[in-house]
Amino acid sequence: MTRQNQIAALFLCACSLSYAAYAADDITIANFDGADYGAWKTEGTAFGDKPAPGTLPTQMNVTGFVGAGLASSFHGGDATTGKLISPPFVIERNFINFLIGGGKDEAKLGVRLLIDGQTVRTATGPNDREGGSEQLNWTNWNVSTLKGKSALIEIYDQSTGGWGHISLDNITQSDTPKQSGPAQRVITATQPWLLLPAKNGGPGRHVTVSVDGKPLRFFGMALADEEPDWWAELDLSQWQGKQVTIATNNLPDGSKALEQLQQVTEIPNQAQTYNDPARGQLRFSSRVGWLNDPNGLVYSQGQYHLFYQHNPYGAGGGNTLWGHATSPDMVHWTQQPIALYPISPSDQVWSGSAVVDKNNTSGWKTGPNDLIVAAFTSTSRGECIAYSNDKGRTWTQYESNPVVTHKSDGRDPRLLWHEPTKQWVMAVYNDDTTIKESSQRRGVDFYTSPDLKKWTYQSHSGGYWECADLFELPLENGQKKWVLTDASSDYRIGHFDGKKFIPETPLLAGMATPQGAAPWRGFYAAQTFSNEPKGRRIQIGWFQSHTNGKPFNQSMSLPNILKLKTTPLGPRLTWTPVPELESLRAQTHHLGKQTLVETGPNPLAALKGELLELRAEIDPGTANEIKFNLRGIEVIYNASRSEISVGDKHTFAPLQKGKLDLTIYIDRNGIDLYACNGLVFMAMPIYPDANNQALSLSAVGGVAKVSRLDVYNLKSSWK
């Protein structure tokens, strides 16, 4: 080739490259950055009259869109429906790329490409279960065989349930496909724990953990692409030496999420974790993650077992399974490996209970240990049974699960042994839509079984909510009554014959409302221990203490003894703290009898502390108010109204034999108050000022007599 021909060839090649680059430029179909939808047409209300600027009211944080806006069908929430339809355009490139997020339901929710009125391509969002995130990710359609044809894009939303919305942005024609693909990492399990990097408020991703190719764990979590806020924990102990694959969806380019996975021999920084300034020091909370309802409270072989609703992979709800902790005294708790896991991505393990099958009625007992049997709600199946022969460490699910199903909304099975009829009873919430009277539809169904396997429906008791508990208690005269309570802690007292509960009282207010309307709640879904060794009826509830921005969230209440007390209004429940809490007393201050006057000295002036127990007995005398200030939290008894308040929350508190008796616990994350011989119980998630340890007591408007005033400085239950 001559030099002139070489130059000519180079020139033609350059021109060709220039033309090819120009020809390959992306063509924008829509970027949704304008003040309205332009030539796009809307139907219905789901897409509003203009693009969303990002996150809409009540929506989780929306991420991953490009520019100033996106097309979202969340205008008005998940219940709205509608369409967003493009003007016609000619397909000129090999691919149509777009960012998509929201719900997953191709029949009702998504985006489709139409040619001559026929659907030729479709896509839907990634989220079809609780959890997930509002992140948009790249996907594409290969339209190379459709080039030159006229087409429309229709974004549609006919879904009205959870995740009933779709999000789209940056729709472009291109010769280069864009795709946010899944990512995975394969490890050989050599240590008992795998730490996963977590980012509070980050985009949620679906994670699947497979062992030797079999998917065994399914959860959503906000994996940290860069520096994590904290580390979630995955138990590898039963998979040692096996190949474990951790797979997730739609990691952005450059994400370090899987790269940061760490195998460790033990959980690091546990002492620091349990001493966090926001963590309660007198009550149980999970090491990391979210908890709510206590489940499966049972005593066996020297240990109190506390199972609980738990999300170990995030500080919010979701991924629900059964966490597990044990204690010799209900005060000092040790977290154990997770007990019950979901069986599929669409499953969660909801609330339930546990018993000891002393007579091996089920036939499942092997070995010397107690046979512990649990009942729980599997959201994909119904009410299920599992059992353990190794002190609750590992569990076998009954092969014929579920044992009970519901036509509508049912959950939270409570097991108990009914001695007079020699049978097992299951009390389980059910919304029975066949009942004509609407107030009775929601209630408790009762089933019976000789062996925990085959269950027979017996009756329905209406007027209750979820998380039922049923137990028998004696009155002072020895007469026994049955108590049926629900998650609210409200209850009825009556008779139970093993098949049907017959109430003898109206619905009575529970925690914080002994004889009045409920002013406030911070205590929910309480359950009592089965097989308690001293025959006591001991209750623990969900103490709703929020710890935003921390690796852990929520905690359990103090354990309380329930009794029945005769009052002028009839029998009533009482709550008193278990005496085992006295083991936390580090310093004792018996201040003896005191006279309180408005301008008199403060009998608590010389005392201070962070963790406290206070016990007092006071005759209000002529005083209008008895006022405590405990680390900045005001506790006031109003004599004229017979009312006690904590902060701005209050409840009726009648004097007992002319005196006010009080027991108060102050923790880092709340206050627990008992009064009126246990008729008043207030569990209050309040965070005292960490810098204020001062205490005071005074009378207002008169003179009061203190016959007992004891203060105890407490030590942490975690030490």
> Which token pair is 677?
């011989």
Burial (0-12, 13-18, 19+ Cβ within 10 Å), 403: buried
Q: 3-state class of 645 per DSSP?
A: strand
Q: Give the CA count within 13 Å in the CB-facing half-sphere of 369.
A: 17
Q: What is the 3-state secondary structure (H, E, C) of 420-462?
A: HHCEEEEEEEEECCCCCCHHHHEEEEEEEECCCCCCEEEEEEE
Q: Give dist(CA 252, CA 538) in Å, integer.
A: 50
Q: 3-state class of 669 per DSSP?
A: coil
Q: What pairing do the DSSP bridges indicate for beta strands 523-528 and 118-123?
A: unpaired
Q: Is 252:180 a contact under the CB 8 Å cutoff? A: yes
List, in order, residues 6 or more apart from 54 with CB less than 8 Å away. Answer: 62, 65, 69, 70
Q: Is residue 451 annotated as a catalytic residue, yes or no?
A: no
Task: List phi, psi (to 5°) of 11.
Answer: -65, -45
Q: Is 311:320 a contact under the CB 8 Å cutoff? A: yes
Which helix or strand (DSSP H or E) is residue 589 part of?
Answer: strand 585-590
Q: Is 558:672 a contact under the CB 8 Å cutoff? A: yes
DSSP 43-102: EESTTTTS-B-SSPTTPPPEES--TT-BEES-TT-TT--EEEEPPPEE--SSEEEEEEEE
- The neighbouring-strand residues paired with 123 are 111
Q: Where are the beta strands (DSSP E) in 467-559?
A: 469-474, 480-485, 491-496, 501-503, 523-528, 538-543, 552-553, 555-556
Q: Per the residue annotation, which of 293, 357, 412, 469 is the catalytic one?
A: 293
Q: Give dist(CA 76, CA 45) in Å, integer.
A: 8
Q: Give dist(CA 467, CA 494) in Å, integer.
A: 18
> Which token pair is 470?
């049923």
Dihedral class, residue 532 (left if φ above 0, else alpha if ψ from -120 to 50, else beta): beta
Q: Give dist(CA 715, CA 718) in Å, integer.
A: 9
Burial (0-12, 13-18, 19+ Cβ within 10 Å), 126: buried
- 556: nearest Cα among 538, 568, 570, 544: 544
Q: Give dist(CA 377, CA 582) in Å, integer.
A: 36
Q: Which residues are catalytic?
A: 293
